[in-house]
Structure formats: C-alpha cells, structure tokens
Structure 1
Amino acid sequence: MMTVTHNNKQYTVTKMADGYHWKLVEVGSPRNSRTYNRDQMINAGMEHIVSQNIINRNALRAAISKKAIARCIGDNAMLEQAIEAQRKALGVRVNRSSFEVRA
C-alpha cells in the first residue's frame, strides 16, 4: 500500500488480486473509493505505480499449477519451488498454506 495525491486529495493505493486494477481509498474518508484499471492509472498520472509491478501471467499460472501438484503428491521441495516462482511472478509474499496472496 502506498499513499498518493490525486486531484488535491490523498489516497491509499492498493493493487487488487487480478493485477490489472488498483483501488484508491481517500485518506480520512474510507467510503470514498475508486477502482482504476491500468490505462486509467496511466491517464491519471500514476504510471510510476503501474510500472512497479507487472505480473507475468504465464509464469503465475505455471507456478499455481505446480503448487497444486506439489500439494497433491506431498512434495515439500517442489512446493517451496512453486511458492518462490509464484512470489517472483507476483512480486509479493505468498501464503504457503493456501492460494492467497498477501501484499
């Protein structure tokens, strides 16, 4: 999460799970929120946020599949490799016990 100023208001920016949308929540007024896609973020002048983390979707799919197979066969070494591959594809921490992603 990071704080940015847009239209003279401060927002906290959170990347959504799909990797293509960002949620902007106004500081001090959590009910005032917006969801922007990648193009809207660039048009709003927040390209520096968008370019920080580009998800490699093919690598992510492969890592999640590998993670599921590793759990199925009970191979801990393969599971650790899959978690590391998923972490690299997303650029965030990955929960070992599930498919959840934590920012």
Structure 2
Amino acid sequence: MMNFDATSKMNKEAMDSMLTAASSMTKGFQQIAAEATDYSKKSYEDSAAVVEKLVSAKSLDKAIEIQTDYAKSSYESFVAQATKMSEIYADLAKQAYKPFEAAAAKVSA
C-alpha cells in the first residue's frame, strides 16, 4: 500500500509539471503570435507609406533616396524584431523547463 501511495504522488507531481509546462508554452505561443501580428501590421503600413512616397517623388534621385531609406529602416526593424523573437523563444523554453527542473532536483536529492 505504501508503494502505491508514493507512485500516486509521483504521478500527480509529474502531471502537475506537464500541465504547468503546457500552460507556460501556451502563453509563450500567444505572445509570439501577438508579436508576429504586430510586426506584420507595422511592416505593411510602412510599405504602404513608402509606396505613397515613391508615387509622389518628383525625380529618380528622390525615389532612389526614398527606397534606400526604406531598405535601411526595414532591415534594422527586421533585425530588432528577430532579436526580440529569439528572446521570447528563449524565455519560453526556460519557463517550460522550470517544472521539470524542480522535479529532477527532487529525484536527484
């Protein structure tokens, strides 16, 4: 009977750890989706603004300047977003691993 209680308690702790990890992952994926949506929306708006500027450009030199500025700012924005997303993914992995880390510490102790 004692072994059954210990096994039951261990199974409950494992299930709690899995549910906590799943909850953390769900929150992380929601944050990733929100960030991706916001970035896509901003990128589209920026592109539309550049097209309007290009249409109203009076000379080829001005159009090239507008396009060059857009390419530079678009690249910088992409790098910043990629860095932010990688930090979110790293945090997601850390949060999802925490419950299992605590369980592993109990087992090794």
TM-score under structure 2 length normalisation? 0.31
TM-score under structure 1 length normalisation? 0.32
Larger Rg: 1 or 2? 2
Which structure is higher in strand share? 1
